[in-house]
Amino acid sequence: MTDIRDDAPVPDAYASERETTEGTVYTVTGGDWDTFLDDEHDDRIVINMGPQHPSTHGVLRLVLELEGETVTQARSVIGYLHTGIEKNCEFRTWTQAVTFVTRMDYLSPLFTEAAYCLGVEKLLGVEVPRRAQVARVMLMEINRIGSHLVALATGGMELGALTGMTAGFREREEVLHLLEFLTGLRMNHAYIRPGGLAQDLPEDWAEKVADFVKIMKQRLPDYDKLLTGQPIWRQRLENVGYLPVDGCLALGATGPILRAAGLPWDMRKVEPYSGYEEYDFEVPTATEADCYARYRLRVAEIHESLKIIEQAAAKMEPGPVMVADRKIAWPAQLSIGADGMGNSLEHVRKIMGQSMESLIHHFKLVTEGFSVPAGQVYSAVESPRGEMGCHLVSDGGTRPLRVHVRDPSFVNLQTMPAMSEGGMVADVIAAVASIDPVMGGVDR
């Protein structure tokens, strides 16, 4: 008999929550959000910001408890962009996994590639050739500029500075054009491979890089005119999203958030990798620890990246871009065909004409991959958002046993409630923009 009493619990329209061996499985109603409020504060309301709101970068949901326009409690809900990349890597060879990790933080793919490959190379006990090392640094700094430009552009869009958005994306196109010329793709490059690079840089790379640096130096002062010195922009960001250095350390925040609070923590300086100790550059810091400080810091970091790019271009020497060990060196030895993909006929003839043993070895290397000695390793690089770490576990086979990435967007997102609670609901947008989370890296 159906219970029609007024106080009877209303069954969920989709499915009830249930207990499993792995814990509680919540429903589409949002799990425990119905307990977000207590009876003492029935004058407060709970609103959802996102996941479709532009300021949540498309796939982040923020649940805000408001008293008037003041945020009394904030929670971030993630998982809308989950792709299972880390698990997928366990079913691919060590080289193939690069094409997955590059898709995590899609605004700075070369950093995830570098962190992953540095870990594989530690397990292999190999050191990449000098030319590949210098090229990696140059490519990462070009990528850093592009990522910071997106942070400035989307931050401007979310706060109403639409000219800042159009200018930021205009310059980012210069970055993407250059990366496409150097690596073959605008994004998700899979260009940094275990042992070196996928292939050598194009012949006239130096001229293209010099042109890019020249353009950026001409256009960067425009941002100071357009935003930095603009009274409205400054008043909108100053004293908003405040998070001091002790809060950053308690929450594990790194990158511009931590440096804007006064701590000059940069992996390129404190734990140099890929030869960063050879480069002359500064680590910009600020002490205001607010949204405006994070904005100014990113602009300053673009200037420093341009310095590093120029130094890397000057340091580049002729030579191989992949380790000499033939058991690892695929696929950097391959040539690209006239159609821009596949192998050139000359290279196919070379493989076929050497010997049956070399052909068999090539086939096994392509289909099975190379074995990596058993062990585990953690390698980290300084991405545009902070410490990008990669924990790899090998059981001695041709596939990773475990791949886990410490993505700075995921950790930094924890700072959102600390920046927002006690402030106005409108300032949540500024705070999230200053964190600059990339949800592909959060959900992985």
pLDDT exceeds cutoff 70 at 334: no
Q: Sheet harboring 375-383: ordered strands across? A: 375-383, 386-394, 402-406
pLDDT exceeds cutoff 70 at 33: no
Helix (H) or strand (E) holding 392: strand 386-394
The vertex-38 CA angle with 37 and 42, nearest 5°, equals 80
Residue 379 or 164, more confident:
379
- Range 149-165 average pLDDT: 87
pLDDT exceeds cutoff 50 at 140: yes
Residue 19 or 38, more confident:
19
Whose CA is closest to 315, among 168, 147, 138? 138
Q: Is the dihedral of CA 127, 128, 134, 138 positive or negative?
A: negative
Mean pLDDT taken over the chain: 84
| Residue 217, CA distances (Å) to 147, 210, 211, 213, 296 in order | 17, 11, 10, 6, 16
Task: Work out the pLDDT band at 7, boundaries 50, 70, 90.
Answer: low
Sequence-ordered list of residues with C-beta below 8 angstroms from that of 353, at least 6 positions apart, any chain: none
pLDDT of residue 2: 47
- The least confident of 18-27, 57-66, 178-187, 368-377 is 18-27
- The SS3 assignment for 399 reads coil
pLDDT exceeds cutoff 50 at 411: yes
Q: In angstroms, rounded to a whole number, what is the distance separating the alpha carbons of residues 132 and 200?
A: 8
Q: In angstroms, rounded to a whole number, what is the distance separating the alpha carbons of residues 416 and 411?
A: 10
Residue 280 or 7, more confident:
280
Q: Tokens at residue 291, please?
A: 């949204």
Domain residue ranges of the chain, discontinuous segments joined by +? 87-328+345-443
pLDDT tens for 313-331 read 999 889 888 888 777 776 5
pLDDT exceeds cutoff 90 at 203: no
Q: In angstroms, rounded to a whole number, what is the distance separating the alpha carbons of residues 345 and 335?
A: 9
pLDDT exceeds cutoff 60 at 268: yes
Alpha helices in 260-344 (DSSP H): 267-270, 291-315
Q: In angstroms, rounded to a whole number, what is the distance separating the alpha carbons of residues 132 and 319?
A: 9
Whose CA is closest to 120, among 382, 388, 379? 379
pLDDT exceeds cutoff 50 at 4: no
- Range 40-62 average pLDDT: 72
Cβ atoms of 89 and 101 closer than 8 Å: yes
pLDDT tens for 84-136 read 898 998 998 888 899 899 988 889 999 999 999 999 999 998 999 999 999 99
pLDDT of residue 228: 85
CATH superfamily membership of 87-328+345-443: Cytochrome-c3 Hydrogenase, chain B (1.10.645.10)
- Range 66-89 average pLDDT: 87
- Range 281-296 average pLDDT: 91
The answer to whether the predicted template modeling score (pTM) of the entire model surpasses 0.95 is: no
Helix (H) or strand (E) holding 377: strand 375-383
pLDDT tens for 230-260 read 888 888 888 988 999 999 999 999 989 999 9
Task: Work out the pLDDT band at 69, boundaries 50, 70, 90.
Answer: confident
Cβ atoms of 390 and 403 closer than 8 Å: yes
